[in-house]
């Protein structure tokens, strides 16, 4: 179990904003690190099972309501690797909004955020990410390690852009979509909602809603 020490970064404990996490696995550890670097205080988490982060475990998600006076924001701290997890995240996002909880955007200080960039609440920008000029990241999306978002690109709600993926300038990615590790979306292309672009895939033309884009895999030659 990883242990995190909340760092105040020169901010008094009374002024530190408190975050409760939904999720307690490996991705939650990444969220904790970035939140800590930004001066937020993680106070607890909810999850189906006890996780790997060293903060108070409050049980299942309904217990957030019992602890609402103990935090200022919630943060969705489990990721997407397939359509099932994308749908799971969507259902939790809907629950967060229904219950009236607020979230924040977390942008790593080790990311590059250019002029005019907008990152909406609930989204996280990991270490090494490049957000180019005037790009927009909508609510509850994940832009993971070393991914690049080109100038004027628009990333929808509940989108996961996996590590080392590249989104070209003026491209648009619709809601509830997964862009896999190392995938490429070329400039000006439109990727619809509920799309999965597999690891290493290249989007060279517009992709309609609900599609799956898979690269041709290399063959092993004996």
Q: What is the mean pLDDT of residues 148-164?
A: 98
Q: How many CA atoms lie within 13 A of 115 on its CB side?
A: 0
Strand pairing class (118-119; 136-137): parallel
Which residues, other chains included, contact 14 with Cβ-Cβ below 8 Å and sequence gap of 6+? Answer: none
Mean pLDDT, to the nearest integer, of 51-72? 95
Q: How far is CA 115 from the centre of its chain?
A: 21
pLDDT of 172-184, one tens digit each?
Answer: 999 999 999 999 9
Residue 49, pLDDT above cutoff 80? yes
Burial of 58 (0-12, 13-18, 19+ CB in 10 A): buried
Residues 10-45: pLDDT tens digits? Answer: 444 446 899 999 999 999 999 999 999 999 999 999
**Domains of the chain, start order:** 18-78 (3.40.50.20), 108-212 (2.160.10.10)
Average pLDDT of the chain to the nearest whole number: 92
Q: Residue 172 corresponds to which tokens in the numbers above?
A: 């648009």
Contact between 164 and 146 under an 8 Å Cβ cutoff? The reply is yes
Residue 2 confidence (pLDDT) above 90 = no
pLDDT of residue 215: 86
Residue with tokens 């990721």: 79
**Tokens read off for 134:** 């005037």
pLDDT at 12: 40
* Mean pLDDT confidence for 144-158: 98
């Amino acid at each position: 179990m990883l242990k995190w020490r909340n760092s105040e970064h020169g901010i008094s404990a009374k002024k530190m904003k408190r975050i409760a996490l939904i999720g307690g696995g490996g991705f939650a550890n990444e969220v904790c690190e970035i939140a800590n670097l930004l001066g937020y205080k993680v106070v607890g988490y909810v999850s189906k099972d006890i996780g790997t982060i060293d903060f108070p475990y409050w049980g299942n998600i309904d217990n957030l309501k019992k602890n609402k006076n103990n935090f200022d924001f919630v943060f969705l701290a489990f990721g997407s690797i397939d359509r099932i997890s994308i749908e799971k995240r969507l259902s939790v996002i809907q629950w967060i909004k229904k219950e009236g909880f607020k979230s924040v955007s977390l942008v790593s200080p080790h990311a590059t955020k250019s002029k005019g960039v907008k990152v909406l609440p609930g989204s996280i920008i990991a270490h090494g990410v490049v957000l180019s000029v005037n790009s927009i990241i909508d609510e509850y999306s994940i832009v993971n390690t070393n991914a690049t978002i080109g100038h004027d690109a628009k990333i929808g709600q509940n989108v996961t852009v996996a590590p080392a993926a590249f989104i070209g300038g003026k491209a648009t990615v619709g809601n509830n979509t997964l862009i896999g590790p190392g995938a490429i979306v070329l400039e000006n292309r439109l990727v619809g909602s509920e799309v999965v672009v597999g690891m290493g895939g290249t989007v060279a033309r517009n992709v309609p809603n609900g599609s799956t884009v898979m690269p041709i895999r290399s063959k092993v030659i004996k």
